[in-house]
Amino acid sequence: MFLIGAFVRRKPIGVALMFGAILGAVVNGDGIPVRHLVEGAFTYFDPILIIFTAMLFMRVIEENGSLGAIARLIIERLGSRPALMLTVVTLFIMFPAMLTGITTTSVLTTGALIAPVLIALGIPRLKTAAMVALVSMMGMIAPPINLLVMLIGQGVDMPYIGFEGPLLLISLPLALFVSFTTAYRRLRNADIATALEHLPRPDTAQTPLRLFLPLVVVFSIMALVRLFPRYVPDIGAPLIFIIGAAVGMLAGKKVRFFGASYRALLTALPVLGLLAGIGMFLQIMTLTGVRGLLVVTVLSLPITLTYVGLLISLPAFGGVSAFASAMVFGVPFLLSLLGRNEIVTCCGIALLAGLGDVIPPSAIEARFAAQIVGEKNFLRVVLKCLPFVAVFALAALTVIRWADVLAFSVP
């Protein structure tokens, strides 16, 4: 039912998961268990709040001019130093996904803003699209917010604590590897003046301090909560993003709260619906015993087949939904690999699940990246991404295999 709904009837993935859950319950003899469906839909209420508030924050700093001002500042100040500029551009593209845990936010905000600049600097369109998609994906893997790890952690009752070091150790080198492999040679002889024409003109009435204030507030609160937990209460990521959005509305261009909220909700709604659908699907899988069967099956695999299963099932099912892949397959695989450092192992599994964002049939980030560079056939972008996907998969297996060696990154 899920496959028919998603690929034959072309329903949203979250709706298809809901239909699959309902049919599974009916076939099992449970009728339509409304209580379980509602309970499942609220399983990931915390990540849903984080996503929406983070999207609202990103929408505000995009509409008040902060993102455009940052992009222009990077190109103007660092254009003569291509290595440093490329490093900062990489972090700039990653930034929205780091805060929201969703790759799409980076592709459609900072990625869409910087892609015309990269093309003007001499980087081919397909390479630009692949770079934006892959670097955005590494932003989803990077701290402070990694929804894939949160979903797996919820499945095994593991709190989201201590993941920042391993996630940064994994994501940042891979993101820089993509950027430097793709763009560095071209940037050494780039025309900076031409590239700046593709960025919005700065608002001379606004000082850089006011434009950057929302980012400073959000990062400062997050840092204080983590550095001084005894003195600074953890008010939660959703409230931090709401505070940042409120500050953003007072800085830069005027932003209307309800309009920005509506546009943020429209952008986030597919992912929010997906999380609700995943929750229903897994709730019914638990009710019918299928989830337990899957766990037992994975636990009984020899270690060699476990690695093969990791390499195939997580990215392949991630091609439908990275979040569904992390929850459906990530949890049993993490349980089967108990005995090594669970935090590092979970990070490696999350990376494998995240690869689905550029793998068909959905390849959602490759599709969006193709749109922002004007490429009609997204499969051409997928082909550019595949060599890097192979490197990422090898890196993920290395992290999982030597999780205890990499445990030094866990605080």
Q: Are 44 and 324 spatial neighbours (Cβ–Cβ below 8 Å)? A: no
What residue type is assigned to position 171 of the chain?
S
- Of the pLDDT bands very low, low, confident and very high (cuts 50, 70, 90), residue 3 is confident
Average pLDDT over residues 239-268: 88
Strand, coil or helix: 340: strand
Q: Which of 368, 341, 67 shows the shortest CA–CA distance to 202?
A: 67
The pLDDT tens digits for 258-317 are 999 999 898 888 878 888 888 898 899 889 988 788 778 877 888 888 888 888 888 988
Whether 219 has a pLDDT exceeding 70, the answer reads yes
Task: Enumerate the β-bridge partners of residue 338.
Answer: 340
Which residue(s) pair with 340 in the sheet? Answer: 338
Name the burial class of residue 193, with classes exposed (0-12), middle (13-18) and buried (19+) by CB atoms within 10 angstroms of its CB: exposed
CA-to-CA distance for 139 and 156, rounded, in angstroms?
24
Tokens of 301: 């695999």
Residues 32/13, Cβ–Cβ less than 8 Å:
no
Distance CA 316, CA 359 (A): 7
The 10s digit of each residue's pLDDT in 91-146 is: 989 988 898 888 888 887 788 888 888 888 888 999 999 999 999 999 999 998 89
Q: How is the chain split into domains, by residue range?
A: 2-409
Report d(CA 21, CA 4) in Å as an integer.
13
What pLDDT is stored for residue 361 in this prediction?
Answer: 73
Q: Residue 128 burial (CB < 10 Å; 0-12/13-18/19+)?
A: buried
pLDDT of residue 198: 67
Instruction: State percent of the chain over pLDDT 90.
Output: 32
* pLDDT, averaged across the chain: 86
pTM score? 0.79
With 0-12 / 13-18 / 19 or more C-beta atoms within 10 angstroms meaning exposed / middle / buried, residue 90 is buried
